[in-house]
A and B are shown apart, each in its own frame.
Chain A
Amino acid sequence: MAGPEVERLPETIRAREAEGVWSFEHFPWWLGAIVAFIVVMAFIIITNEAYTGAFSFIFIGIRLTAYTTLVSFAIALVLGLLAGLGRISHNVVIRNIAITYVEFIRGVPTLVLIFTVAFVLVPAAAQALDLEGRLISQNSRAIAALSIIYGAFLAEIFRAGIESIPPGQMEAARSLGMNYAQSMRYIILPQAIRNISPALGNDFIAMLKDSSLISVLAVHDLTQRARLYAGSTFRFRESYLILTFFYLSLTLALSLLLRWYERRLGKD
């Protein structure tokens, strides 16, 4: 049990934030510093020709970065949900398949997995399905790799979310005659997904950052564009500062959005 003093302190901070009272101690200086970096970078990009050139070259990569992240995350959500449900299944075979998948992925570095999926798993799957492996684009391989990797991470989030719902909920649903799937679909998952949505958002941001690793497959994402530009012009400083600027702007915007959403969740 927390004492009254411990309880009260965050309340006062929250109350002060709500009232908009300025406080040196609680001002988000970190946010100010990051925003300052972004603003200064934006100013330099506009005014300095060397930066403008690098910017317009690298910017083209944002399309592929965004596309790959969104598609991979959507697939990873499906994989993660299935593996998360498998993880808690009473069926020994299903449960062990799910655990093997999750633990296998977690035990191998992301970069190594990208190579393995792109150059081993995808060709093997293509062969098994009697497809021409050469025709599968590098970007499809990148999406396959990111989906499989994040599917395993999300599986653990889904599992934790489902297990966070009191068992009485499942019992009540089952006692009304709903089967396991109906109880999951209508009672457990809606509550679980609400609880884990901040964690899912965090993993989306993490995936956006990890998508830079797919540049090793020579797909034209932000990172690859920056590498190409730096390599051909030797403007390393411009290229990589702009690359940093891109990722930081994207992740900052997303994490602020997430914070706002979490607050709104907390108010309900």
Chain B
Amino acid sequence: MAGEMIVVENLHKYFGHIEAVKGVDLRVKKGEVVVVVGPSGSGKSTVLRCINHLERPTHGDVYIDGVHLEDKATDINAVRAEVGMVFQQFNLFPHLTVLQNVTLAQQKVRKRSDKEARDVGMKVLERVGIPEKADSYPRQLSGGQQQRVAIARALAMDPKIMLFDEPTSALDPEMIKEVLDVMLDLVGAGMTMVVVTHEMGFARAAADRVLFMDEGQVVEIAAPDELFNNPREERTKLFLSKILSH
């Protein structure tokens, strides 16, 4: 398991009687970018949310950098500090300024001093291109800016892994690019990433592997060229024909 940042084994998740995820396996190496695609309701987000235990798997095991999450002795908060998460709805903290959004967890979880947290905070805000908004409140920002702050907030923790749950789905079309650019910058920097998205262009450009999910199962996982140009499974072909026809 050396060099594997994320290992998901035989993951099952029930919501009541509905089985949302039916036995998913996934291994993500350090620095690898895996893009997860599939129709809505296919269990993509649930798998992602199980990786940092926002959802508890019903069966199966998740290992982050060798740490077994289902082990009762595991400190889940310590693991989550290493795993950044970006949500579809940004989920910025509306009562805090942009800078406070990116410094709070550094201070409370990483126990950094005010000054250190501030320095790191400004650095990550510069990285996502909006240091001038440090003292604004989230509601004063556009959707694209908010999502970039959300990415900065996760990056400020110096995570080993970044998870993206449909990061551009709630954005107006003209703001999608600015967010994808930030994500591409992270890919270039060698970040280990799992990205659930409908942006096939991003998948082609950034993914080492693309995972296609349907009905709670992994249908196919392959390099983007292979998956998009020569899909092996009928279900993959059908899905791609629906989304790539325009």
Contact = CB atoms under 8 A, between A and B. Distances in A.
B219 interface: no
Contact of B91 (A168, A182, A190): A168
A177 B84 CA distance: 9
B56 to A, nearest CB: 12
A190 B95 contact: yes
Is chain A's interface secondary structure helix, strand, loop, or mixed overall? helix
* Size bracket, chain B contacts: 20 to 34
Interface string A170-211: 011111111100100011001100100000000000000000
Interface stretch (B24-32, B73-81, B181-189): B73-81
Contact of B54 (A175, A178, A182, A186): A175
A91 B31 CA distance: 40
Contacts of B157: 176-177
Contacts of A168: 87, 89, 91
Contacts, number: 61
B154 to A, nearest CB: 7
Interface size class of A (residues with CB under 8 A): 10 to 19
B46 interface: no
Contacts of A179: 77
Contacts of B95: 190-191, 194
A169 interface: yes
A166 B94 CA distance: 11
Contact of B80 (A169, A175, A186, A187): A175
B222 interface: no
B89 A186 contact: no
B109 A177 contact: yes
A176 B109 contact: yes
Interface of A: 166, 168-169, 171-179, 182, 186-187, 190-191, 194
